[in-house]
């Protein structure tokens, strides 16, 4: 698993496309649903883009503790998919929304918190973590 994060419009998508040209893409920005079961994926290289948007939807429907349980279960399923075939690789792109001013609206604070916790879980599980700022990557794991 490879986690790619950074600010909005900082070149994450371009950076990933340059390195993983033949990947299958599922994007929350293009209204794809959060994929919990990857068994129907016919590619060994899969990019999941817009994790923060899937987490926003999840956090609007459930208590943060339940969101975290659902997220951890989803990560475990993704890890199982990847481990089932040594040729498989999962690249997960998520925009960093956790920096800056704390939102006034409770639902946006909940989304921010859930996303921060989810990214921590993802960074722990991922073999590689890259932060992209202004098109330049920094590998932090």
Give the whole-angstrom CA distance, residue 58 versus residue 121: 16
Q: What is the mean pLDDT of each run of 10 residues along the chain (141 residues)?
A: 96 97 95 87 94 96 95 95 95 91 90 96 98 97 97
State residue 41's pLDDT score: 87
State residue 66's pLDDT score: 96
Which residues are within 8 A (CB) of 134 and not within 5 positions of it... i.e. 6 or more apart?
A: 10, 11
State residue 63's pLDDT score: 94
The Cβ-side half-sphere exposure at 141, using a 13 Å CA radius, reads 14
Gyration radius of the chain's alpha carbons = 14
């Amino acid at each position: 698993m490879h986690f790619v994060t950074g600010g909005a419009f900082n070149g994450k998508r371009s950076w990933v496309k340059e390195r993983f040209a033949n990947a299958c893409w599922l994007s929350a920005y293009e209204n794809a649903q959060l994929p919990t079961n990857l068994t129907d994926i016919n590619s060994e290289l899969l990019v999941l883009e817009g994790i923060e948007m899937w987490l926003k939807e999840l956090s609007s429907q459930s208590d943060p503790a339940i969101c975290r349980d659902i997220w951890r279960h989803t990560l475990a399923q993704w890890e199982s998919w990847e481990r089932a075939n040594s040729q498989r690789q999962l690249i997960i792109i998520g925009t960093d929304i956790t920096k800056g001013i704390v939102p006034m609206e409770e639902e946006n604070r909940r989304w921010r918190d859930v996303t921060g916790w989810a990214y921590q879980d993802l960074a722990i599980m991922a073999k590689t973590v890259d932060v992209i700022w202004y098109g330049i990557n920094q590998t932090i794991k």
